[in-house]
Chain A
Amino acid sequence: MQVTQTKFDPIALSILWSRLISIVDEAGTTLQRTSFSTVTRESNDFAVVLMDKKGRSIAQSSVSVPSFLGVLPMLTKALLKDYFPEDTWKDGDVVMTNDPWLCAGHKPDIGIVSPIFYQKKLIGFIGTIAHSPDMGGVLWGAGSRDLYEEGLMVPPTKLISEGTPNDTLFNILEHNVRAADQTVGDIRAQIAANDQGIKSLMKLMEENHLDDLQDLADAVINASEKAMREALLEAPDGSYTYEYDTDGDGRGNKCHFEITVNIKGDEIHADYTGTSGAHPLSINAVLNYTYAYTAYPIKCTFSPDVPNNDGSFYPIKVTAPKGCLVNAQKPSPLGARNITGNMLHSVVFGALAKAVPKQVQADCGSACWCIVLNGEDKGKEFVEYFFLNGGYGARPNMDGEHVLSFPTNVANVPIEVLETDIAVLVTEKSLVPNSGGQGEFRGGLGQRFSFKNVGENPLNISLLTEKTQTPAKGILLGEDGQMGSMEIIPKRDFPPKGLDKLHPGEELILTLPGGGGYGDPSKRDKSLIEEDKALGYIN
């Protein structure tokens, strides 16, 4: 494919492109530094994207959650098409929504989009999505029975109009969510991040004597598209399929995934026909979200080095039957859709292993497990999130890393921060020996994390576990990783996904799965086995 000639020579383009990326990274730093919830400030569950005036992404924050990066431009395009056409935006506007179908697939993810005006002309948008600590309804997780139990839904609305805050909306938010200080504080941090990005972009425009962003946007988008298409051209044409099961509710009602990936010339199409239908638990994913988590492993496989933007997505098509697990329709509950989205890389890599085995990794011990605790401390309500990651899948030339986030990218909350914030005591955090799937290259180890309620009151807990019934699959003869497990002491029934209470003195022991192995275990280098033994990774 022939790239359109641009106004920028390869040197000017290289320079401006890196400048765009530094602008969004800087906005991301502002968001992290000014936010309140552990989910944003410690775990980095957010993203920032700079877009042109058509809502196409031009640059995105470097260390972010991949799904948000994919979804933000879709959200902005939808805002332009159905809610706020191009000529209705005013300088100083800020639009907010958490509509799962428009935004990131569940209500806690709040999208905040600001227009960028330069010389009184709309030139683009900057948007952030961050996981807010609470949106009302039942405690976030898989425990809701329908969409309405998942809290407040704000359709695309101007949160700020030409600099004037929409006090009604702020008021409604404050009265509908737990720990409103955190949720509203994080929304303000998102606005601050957008403002920072706008400020820096203004400088870039001035200093480079640009009138608008369009030529630059076209140039970077075309370059990323070209890179993706060229990489796809090198992959063998064909139709590649893969099937995969996940825990579902963790009590026997499993989910089944089927994918057919067609590579033809410089395009790729992933179709989920055969995947199970909507699940009664709130683990259903909307198509936006499915698209983002399908395109993500494709990008990792074919064009990891080229900065991501809208262009990377043009050659990628994703389809799924309406109403199925990965194309959820109203009023299917969606709260814990990340459990489903975080599995899609396994299916995509599984299929692509048949086409480009040296460019993929084995299945990871994902999805990341999520724990939300809520209660009252000294008369003040809190919502505390933390995440735990399993082992990373083995690669074609090396072992998987132990305990590393994939495909999402969330950090843990430090034990000492957690214990400072709420009345829990962590009793163990350690690697789980033997949990990595064997192979020519071994999967990374999972972790054990145990904690106890040492307060006087029961804690509301929402728990999301995965791979306690189904393992991280090995590929190309690699063995599966060890499954995860959960236990409560004193022993009693506890939902693997859903809501319960953790009573004073009760201890929850969570063992996360290891990653899958890659290649034939009999081909593993003897010295690597010896090293694994010496370090206690296997025994």
Chain B
Amino acid sequence: MKLGIDIGGTFTDFVLFDNDSNQLYFAKTLTTYPDPTVGIFNGVKEIETKYGFQVKNMSGIVHGTTLVTNAVIERKGAKTAFITTKGFEDVLEIGREMRYDIYDIFLTMPKPLVPRNLRMGVAERVDTHGNILEPINTEALKDLAKTLKDNGIEAVGVCLLNSFANTSHEKALGDFLSENVPDIYYSLSSEIMPEIREYERSSATAMNAYVQPITDKYLKDFETQLRVSGFEGNINIMISSGKLTTIDGARKSPIHLLESGPAGGAMAGVFFGTHLEEENLLCFDMGGTTAKACVIYEGKPEITNHFEAGRVKRFKKGSGLPVRIPVIDLIEIGAGGGSIARVNNIGLLTVGPDSASSTPGPVCYNRGGEDPTVTDADLVLGYLNADYFLGGEMQLSVEAARKAIEIKLANPLGISIEDAAMGIHKIVNENMANAARVHVLEKGMDPRHFNMVGFGGAGPVHAFGVAKLLNVRRLIIPVGAGVTSALGFLVSPVASEKIHSFIDELDSLDWNEVNTFLSDMEEDGYQFLNQSGIHKKDAIVERIVEMRYAGQGHEITIELPEGELGTDSISEIERRFKKEYEFRYNRSIEGMALEMVTWRVVVQGPIPEMNVKQFSTTASDVEAYKGKRKVYFEETGYLDCPVYDRYALKPNEKFDGPAIIEETESTTVIGINSTVQVDKDKNIIIDLHQ
């Protein structure tokens, strides 16, 4: 029996899988502040009373949280100092010197997480090949320890120039810190992100230090409380790459938790894909303020190491702090139920990226919101049921929504309220489809070859429209669409990912050295898995190199051939590189040397099996068909559209679109010219006839 717990901004979601009955159970509680563990234990209690499962009987718990992300966005991390090579203390503040918006002279750049007065330089220098030019003298650092203490520093980030090539100076500093200021947390860049490019590495290291004390305290509390309530199983933490780490792993590298929620969603996509025999899937997740999309290709999520946290201008690439950690490659755009619609200064209707959030919220919430939002449009169009929002917990006002759309949009544009509402719905769909299309194309793939899975509170409302724009044939709205991330936690593998920077041309590599560090990294991985009770023989090893044409600055990822590598591996590596390069850029270059840059070894445990017999436990004799209501579709205007109760749908039930399917956390909107098929597990499968 395993429990997945996902703490989001508003709700904490729970998914329990009982492997005796092979059944899934869901729960949802409000996230509690300032101590989110209160909310967790509220949920644990609810599961106990509602379903009769006790936490002490569970074999494993997998957890993910927005704690780290929020600490960065809200700047609520620890008092952090930063140590670097003397003369380079300002690298963290100077960044890459480039603007993210070329016409906005009022732009601001993100402030560094460590202010200038807490950045300290030490005399030392290593060159780019790892040679020591100036040895570090830890004897001369006594003042440093005092400065840290006097300033009440809680955490220190250490990033020395070229430490990716030689870690010894950083290690010496680490030893010095643990000896002299044992109460202060420290993060070394050579452990956090051993890759070339000093600003990006500094940024990741400073961020790790910045969030470490609060994450550490939180995870300690979380673990202690679970143990007190009698839980004896494994605790794993979801990380951004869609893998699981241990509590210790998470405490050491908390920045890996940055995207744990969205990664859970993507892994749920992988799970449903396997379950429904869809190897290539586009996951589409839409909530209150953002929408996310990611690609699952051949049953695996795409991983990237380009990621930014805490953007100062919403969703604007380049306006955040870079963190080069492996992250499931998700695009995130400012399109959610709360996204605000406006007529801009050139008379065009635009939607987002700013959001009315949950307070004041959309106009129809009647909580003081005045700007029409996507949710208001969806209500006016009849997609949402004013009397059955969140299962009827919240009454929505159609009248208020219509009025706001009329005054703010329809009148200035000289169009009807319905046309304006449809405009909002279409634009937000188009924005999401656009972003998803670019995302897929950037990978050299064609969105038309993908089917789609839609979830999140607003996902099922918009998924059909987005799927249509992307020429997707088949759309899946899975069971548990409101708690997908927590579900994904339960189907993610435990894994260790080791990174090593070793830059050299393919033809002149020292293969002995390569084989040595690769097998060391692999061995580390086995040991890590062992802590979660996973045996070496069950581990899957993936060895990856990031390489490029010598002279380029952007690498592409290639899987290395198995076994011992040597000169006879060159032609195979070359072939794999060329294939991938051509796939992405439609060309390759003859006679150009290849260069290896970063090596990664992922050692992962098996993907937990979850042979779900029944996804939904709410059996019902009631007829799913609830009647008809007026719903507006672009092609037809208002028509009488059949409405179904999701919980009463029978396996293998089949009907034609248009249709509305209602459940507590969401509503599935199905347009005309489509067929709906409920599968044996009650997932909704929609054929779009395109």
Which B residues between 89 and 131 are near A, CB-CB below 8 angstroms?
89-91, 93-94, 96-109, 115-117, 125, 127-128
For the complex, is A29 an interface residue (Cβ under 8 Å from B)?
Answer: yes
Query: CB-CB < 8 A to B346: which residues of A?
Result: 223-224, 226-227, 306
| Residues A403 and B97 in contact, CB atoms below 8 Å apart | yes
User: Which of chain A's residues 12-70 have a Cβ closer than 8 Å to chain B?
Assistant: 13-15, 17-19, 22, 25-26, 29-30, 32-36, 38, 41-42, 44, 62-64, 66
Q: Which residue of B lies closest to A64 (CB)?
A: B102
Q: How distant is the Cα of A185 from the Cα of B354 in the complex, in angstroms? A: 41
A489 within 8 A of B: no
CB-defined interface of B413-457 with A at 8 Å, one 1/0 digit per residue?
Answer: 101000100110011001100110110011000000000000000
Q: Mark A389-403, 1 if CB is under 8 A from B, else 0.
A: 100000101100111
- Flag whether A98 is at the interface (Cβ < 8 A): no
Task: Verify A447–B127 contact, CB threshold 8 A.
Answer: no
Q: Which residues of chain A are within 8 angstroms of B133 by Cβ–Cβ distance?
A: 425
Query: Is A29 a contact of B88 with CB atoms below 8 Å?
Result: no
Is B459 interfacial (CB-CB < 8 Å)? no
B306 to chain A, nearest CB (A): 11
Q: Is the CB of A32 within 8 A of B554?
A: yes
- Whether the pair A536, B117 counts as a contact (CB closer than 8 A) is yes
Contact with B along A205-226 (1 / 0, CB 8 A): 0010000000000000001101
Q: A residues within 8 A CB of B199?
A: 414
A22-B434, A428-B88 given as contacts; is B349 within 8 A of A11 (CB)?
yes
Report how many A-B pairs have Cβ atoms within 8 Å: 196
Q: Which residues does chain A contribute within 8 Å of B349, judged by CB atoms?
A: 10-11, 14
Q: Is the CB of A430 within 8 A of B89?
A: yes
Instruction: Determine whether B617 belongs to the interface, using a CB cutoff of 8 Å to chain A.
Output: no
Please indicate the chain A residues that have their CB under 8 angstroms from the CB of B618 in the complex: none
Contacts of B422 in A (CB 8 A): 11
Q: How far is the CB of A538 from chain B (nearest CB, A)?
A: 12
Stretch at the interface among A117-125, A166-174, A297-305: A297-305
Tell me, yes or no, whether A243 is within 8 Å of chain B by CB: no
- Which residues of chain A are within 8 angstroms of B554 by Cβ–Cβ distance? 32-34, 41
Partner of A414 from B125, B197, B350, B551 at Cβ < 8 Å:
B197
Do A227 and B345 have beta carbons less than 8 Å apart?
Answer: yes
Instruction: Find out whether the CB atom of B441 lies under 8 angstroms from the CB atom of A200.
Output: yes
CA–CA, A401 to B100, complex, Å? 13
Q: A223–B348 contact, CB under 8 A?
A: yes
A341 to chain B minimum Cβ distance, whole angstroms, is: 15
Q: Which of B142-150, B584-592, B649-657 contacts A (4 or more CB under 8 A)?
A: B584-592
- Most B CB contacts (10 A, CB to CB) among A30, A230, A430, A536 go to A430
Distance (Å) between the CB of B329 and the closest chain A CB? 14
Complex contacts, B427 vs chain A, CB 8 Å: 11, 14-15
From known contacts A11-B423, A227-B345, A412-B97, infer whether A420 and B441 are also in contact, taking CB-CB under 8 Å.
no
Residues of chain A lying within 8 A (CB to CB) of residue B186: none
Determine how close the nearest CB of chain A comes to the CB of B110; give it in whole angstroms: 10
Given the interface pairs A306-B345, A308-B103, the reply to whether A10 lies near B423 with Cβ below 8 Å is: yes
B161 interface residue (CB < 8 Å to A):
yes
Neighbour of B198 across the interface among A305, A306, A414, CB < 8 A: A414
Report chain B residues within 8 Å CB of A22: 434-435, 437-438
Contact A405 B99 (CB under 8 A): yes
How far, in whole Å, are A389 and B109 apart by their CA atoms in the complex?
Answer: 15
| Partner of B103 from A33, A304, A401 at Cβ < 8 Å | A304
> Taking the complex as formed, is B533 at the interface, i.e. its CB lies under 8 A from any CB of chain A?
no
Tell me whether A535 is interfacial, beta carbon within 8 Å: yes
Q: Which of A11, A38, A305, A404 is the one whose CB lies under 8 Å from B345?
A: A305
A64 contact set on B, CB distance < 8 A: 102
Asked if A420 contacts B105 (CB within 8 A), the reply is no
A369→B94 CA distance, assembly (Å): 16
Complex: A188 Cα to B585 Cα, angstroms: 11
Partner of A431, one of B90, B101, B350, B431: B90
Contact call B103/A411, Cβ cutoff below 8 A: no
Complex-state Cα separation, A308 to B101, whole angstroms: 12
User: Which residues does chain A contribute within 8 Å of B442, judged by CB atoms?
Assistant: 26, 29
Question: Contact: A417 with B553, CB < 8 Å?
Answer: yes
Judging by beta carbons under 8 Å apart, are A10 and B347 in contact? Answer: yes
User: How many Å lie between the Cα of A283 and that of B87 in the bound state?
Assistant: 33
Closest to A414 in B: B197
A409 with B585: CB separation less than 8 A? no
Beta-carbon contact of B553 and A41 below 8 Å: yes
Q: Report yes or no: B103 in contact with A416, Cβ–Cβ below 8 A.
A: no
Say whether B552 contacts A36, CB under 8 Å. Answer: yes
Q: What chain B residues lie within 8 Å of A308 (beta carbons)?
A: 103
Contact with A along B374-412 (1 / 0, CB 8 A): 000000000000000000000000000000000000000
Q: With A and B bound together, what is the CA distance between A402 and B108 in angstroms?
A: 10
Tell me if A402 and B93 are in contact (CB < 8 A): yes
Known A41-B554, A306-B345: A34·B503 in contact at CB below 8 Å? no
Contact: A304 with B105, CB < 8 Å? yes
CB contact under 8 A between A14 and B350, given known A402-B94, A411-B97, A425-B127: yes
- A230 and B348 CA atoms in complex are apart in Å by 15
Q: Name the residue of chain B whose CB is nearest to the CB of A15.
A: B430
A282 at the interface (CB under 8 A from B): no
Q: Measured between alpha carbons, how far is A406 from B91 in the docked complex, in Å?
A: 19
A9 to B347, CA, bound (A): 10
Q: How far is the CA of A427 from the CA of B133 in the complex (A)?
A: 12
Point out the residues of chain B lying under 8 angstroms from A188, CB to CB: 587, 589
Q: A305-B345, A405-B97 are in contact. Are A416 and B426 (CB under 8 A)?
A: no
Q: Is B318 an interface residue (CB 8 A)?
A: yes
**With a CB–CB cut-off of 8 A, which chain B residues contact A224?**
346
Q: B196 touching A420 by the CB < 8 A rule?
A: yes
Question: Known contacts being A26-B442, A395-B105, A397-B106, is A192 close to B426, with CB within 8 Å?
Answer: no
Alpha-carbon distance A337/B589, docked complex (angstroms): 33
In the complex, residue of chain B having the shortest beta-carbon distance to the beta carbon of A537: B116
Q: Cα distance A497–B430 when bound, in Å?
A: 50
> Is B97 within 8 A of A420, CB to CB?
no
Distance, CA A414 to CA B197, complexed state (A): 6
Do the beta carbons of B103 and A181 come within 8 Å of each other? no
Does A254 sit within 8 A of B, measured CB to CB? no
A520–B470 CA distance with the chains assembled, in angstroms:
55
The answer to whether A44 and B430 touch across the interface, beta carbons within 8 angstroms, is: no
Q: Could you tell me if B551 and A401 are in contact, using CB atoms closer than 8 angstroms?
A: no
**Which residues 58-112 of A have a CB within 8 angstroms of B?**
62-64, 66
- Bound-state Cα–Cα, A171 to B221, Å: 68
Which among A182, A192, A411 has the greatest number of chain B C-beta atoms within 10 A?
A: A411
- Say yes or no: is B489 at the interface (Cβ < 8 Å to chain A): no
In the complex, what's the smallest C-beta–C-beta distance from B3 to chain A, in angstroms? 41
Of all chain A residues, which has the CB nearest B591? Answer: A181
Q: Is B82 interfacial (CB-CB < 8 Å)?
A: no
Question: In the assembled complex, which residues on chain B have CB atoms less than 8 Å from the CB atom of A304?
Answer: 103-105
Q: Compute how far the CA of A306 lies from the CA of B346 in the bound complex, rounded to whole angstroms.
A: 8
Interface residue A371 (Cβ < 8 Å from any Cβ of B): no
Residue B526 CB within 8 A of the other chain = no
B549 touches A36 (CB 8 A): yes
Q: State in angstroms the CA–CA spacing of A536 and B109 once bound together.
A: 19
> For the complex, is B598 an interface residue (Cβ under 8 Å from A)?
no
Interchain residue pairs A-B with the least CB separation, the first 6:
A41-B553, A11-B423, A411-B98, A428-B87, A304-B103, A419-B128
Q: Other than A14-B350, A181-B551, give 18 A-B pairs with Cβ distance below 8 A.
A: A11-B426, A22-B438, A26-B438, A36-B552, A63-B101, A185-B549, A185-B551, A223-B347, A300-B103, A304-B104, A304-B105, A389-B97, A398-B106, A401-B109, A414-B196, A420-B196, A425-B133, A428-B88
Residues of B participating in the A interface, judged by any CB pair closer than 8 Å: 87-91, 93-94, 96-109, 115-117, 125, 127-128, 133, 161-162, 164, 196-200, 317-318, 343-350, 413, 415, 419, 422-423, 426-427, 430-431, 434-435, 437-438, 441-442, 469, 471, 503, 549, 551-554, 584-587, 589, 592
List 24 interface pairs A-B (beta carbons < 8 Å), by A numbering: A9-B415, A11-B348, A22-B437, A35-B552, A36-B551, A36-B552, A63-B318, A64-B102, A192-B586, A223-B347, A227-B345, A230-B345, A300-B105, A305-B344, A387-B97, A409-B99, A412-B97, A414-B197, A415-B91, A416-B161, A419-B162, A420-B503, A430-B88, A536-B117
